[in-house]
Amino acid sequence: MKKQINYIVFLLSTIIIGIQGFVRAQDGEALFKAKCNTCHIMGKDATGPNLQGVKSKWEGEEDLLIEWVKNSPKVIAEGKSERAKVIKDYSPTVMPIQPVSDQEAKAIVEYVNSWTPSSPDTENPEKVAENVTNVPDYSLNQTLFYVLITVIALLLLSIFIISKSTSEIIKSDKFRNKLLEINKKRNSQGNKLSGLIMILFTGYSFQAAALSAAERETSTEKFSIYVENSDIYVLLTIALLLLGFLLHTVRMFYKILGLIQPKKTPQAVAEERFARNEKRQRTLTKILTAAVPVEEEYKIDTGHEYDGIRELDNRMPPWWLAGFFISIVFAVIYMFHYHVFKTGDLQEVEYAKIVKTENAKVKEYLKAQAMDVDETNATLMTDRADLRAGKSLFINNCAVCHKENGSGEVGPNLTDEYWIYGGDIKDLFGVVKKGTPNGMPDHQSKFNPIEIQQVSSFVLTLDKITQQMGGKEPEGKKYEHVGKTEEKMDDLQRENLKDDSLLQIAK
């Protein structure tokens, strides 16, 4: 009975918490203001697009719309939504992941979809203020009404069960005998007990009357959908009062139950607890070790004895045998899963898949940040701001081996037309990024792709700026730019000769 009571109390607490979560989930306006109005303004475009009537824009993709609110990068990556493909480039900033539940996301969508702009009377604001009234949310109130009625019914049912159980105890002969015994020993105690019983029966009468009232109310079946806020407050008050009365009834039940249970001395309680623990320990020891009691050791005696030590034919510990057989079964399953049927990936294959997936994520990130540049698609940058940035990177990181004018020292001369690993922008990008076997370190851990492209483009402008300065002897093969690339290089280098900030490195 105690377990049933605890279960009822736990159920009621869960329902109340669920009601609070339900109310929060339904408040779409509050959720929108808390999570969305930083980027979205209702009625017009802002950092995010206008969301008024959003369902019509996502027609046929309502489920994906809820997913979009929760995790837009995931919807874009999956590529299932045509609407997401259209709006993903609306802003350079990706919509962040929102920690909301499905119910909260639906509440936000319902709010923005049904939002309409207010039309205040600007000519007579006092008249507007007079006509403004606070209209309750009848839809929400109707839902809360039914939820509270259900909670009240459950509370009344719980009170009925506890009262009925208490009544059965009071009617029992055991309780009557105990009551007579107490009255004989202590009359005042009996008076107190009688008062306690009267309180219980008063609670039982109240419970019965409340049940009758609830039955009369529900039998009419005329609940109005226009439930006012005051009605909700009244029902909530009733529910809280009933909850308090239920807890009081449970407390009284245990007090009465304690009267008819035989009282044990502290010594008896301790002995019972000790016996129970000892029995539990013996059971656990037997399960783990399969040990034979001392009085039954003769059954497993092998007859071998030396210096007073007998040899017993004990079984292997069950936990050890279980582990041994589990290991065999696991080994067979593992072999067939990974090596025979090949339904699972070994560590090396799994690692390769993870690396491939993560590299794809990195590529998507770089693309989103306009940094999806590598040695296969690098292009010559001609903007002076980019070349100045490349010059700064070159002086701070490359001059120690190539000198500030690029004429070479430890590293090769960069002002001539000879290149060891190729003189194209793509070749140079790969050298700066990955390094070379002859001592050139990689710079992909120091530079981002745009910076590598900037410094590579700057290096290709050095030959006609500083070739008159001489430098280290040529190394590698001669490389000549052809066609439009040659014309582009010539124009770029002529422009750079006029730029004092770039020409300074040749002085």
The predicted-structure confidence for 34-45, as pLDDT tens digits, reads as follows 778 767 888 777
Residue 83 or 395, more confident: 395
More confident residue, 492 or 242: 242
DSSP string, 182-202: HHHH-HHHHHHHHHHHHHHHH
d(CA 148, CA 16): 9
Listing DSSP states for 148-192 in one string gives HHHHHHHHHHHHHHHHHHHHHHHHSHHHHHHHHHHHHH-HHHHHH
Tell me, what's the pLDDT at 435? 94
C-alpha span between 401 and 468 (Å, rounded):
20
* Least confident interval from 113-122, 146-155, 177-186, 489-498: 489-498
The predicted-structure confidence for 169-200, as pLDDT tens digits, reads as follows: 887 777 777 777 777 765 544 444 444 444 44
Model confidence at 222, pLDDT cuts 50, 70, 90, reads: very low
The pLDDT value recorded for residue 267 is 85
* Ranges 10-19, 223-232, 345-354, 377-386: which has the least confidence: 10-19
Q: How far apart are CA 243 and CA 239, in angstroms?
A: 6
pLDDT at 119: 53
Higher pLDDT, 66 or 459: 459
- Confidence band for 224, pLDDT divided at 50, 70 and 90: very low
- Phi and psi dihedrals of 425, rounded to 5? -60, -35
- Torsion angles phi and psi, residue 302, rounded to 5: -85, -10
pLDDT for the residue 14: 59
pLDDT over threshold 70, residue 469: no
Per residue in 111-132, pLDDT (tens digit) is 878 878 765 444 454 544 444 4
More confident residue, 18 or 265: 265
pLDDT band at 394 (very low <50, low <70, confident <90, very high): very high
Distances in Å between the alpha carbon of 493 and those of 140, 462, 486?
Answer: 72, 8, 11
Comparing 218-222, 399-403, 453-457, 480-484, which segment has the lowest mean pLDDT? 218-222
Residue 480 tokens read as: 């000549």
Which helix (H) or strand (E) segment is 136 a member of? Answer: none
Q: What sign does the CA torsion over 473, 475, 480, 486 have?
A: negative
pTM, two decimal places = 0.34
Share of the chain above pLDDT 70, in %: 74
Q: What angle do CA 55, 56, 58 make, to 5 degrees?
A: 65
Q: What pLDDT is recorded for position 198? A: 45
Query: What is the DSSP-derived secondary structure letter of residue 127?
Result: H
Query: What residue has token string 């995790």?
Result: 71
Residue in the structure block whose two tokens are 């709006």: 87
Identify the band that residue 470 occupies on the pLDDT scale cut at 50, 70 and 90: low
Question: 301-305, 317-321, 485-489: which range is least confident on average?
Answer: 485-489
CA distance 499 to 384: 9
Question: Quick one: tokens of 363?
Answer: 């590529």
Spatial CA neighbour of 157 closest among 10, 12, 18? 12
Share of the chain above pLDDT 90, in %: 27
Burial of 83 (0-12, 13-18, 19+ CB in 10 A): middle
Distance CA 67, CA 76 (A): 10
- 326 Cβ contact partners less than 8 Å away, ≥ 6 residues apart: none
SS3 state at 470: coil
Counted residue by residue, the chain has a size of: 507
Nearest to 464 by CA among 427, 429, 498: 498
Q: Where do runs of H (alpha helix) occur along 172-298?
A: 173-185, 187-220, 229-260, 266-289
Of the candidates 105, 222, 203, 214, the one whose C-alpha atom is nearest the C-alpha of residue 160 is 203
Does the pLDDT of residue 227 top 90, yes or no? no
Please, which residues bridge with residue 418 across strands?
A: 478
One-letter identity of residue 21 = G
Please provide the average confidence, as pLDDT, over all residues in the chain: 77
Average pLDDT over residues 281-307: 87
Read off the pLDDT band of 1 (50, 70, 90).
Answer: very low
Alpha carbon 51 to its chain's center = 26
pLDDT at 79: 79
Q: What is the distance between the alpha carbons of residues 426 and 235, in angstroms, rounded to a whole number?
A: 75
Asked whether residue 437 carries a pLDDT value surpassing 50, the answer given is: yes
Query: Identity (one letter) of the amino acid at 432?
Result: V
pLDDT at 63: 77
Confidence of residue 268 (pLDDT cuts 50, 70, 90): confident
Distance between terminal CA atoms of the chain? 97
Where residue 205 falls among pLDDT bands split at 50, 70, 90?
A: very low
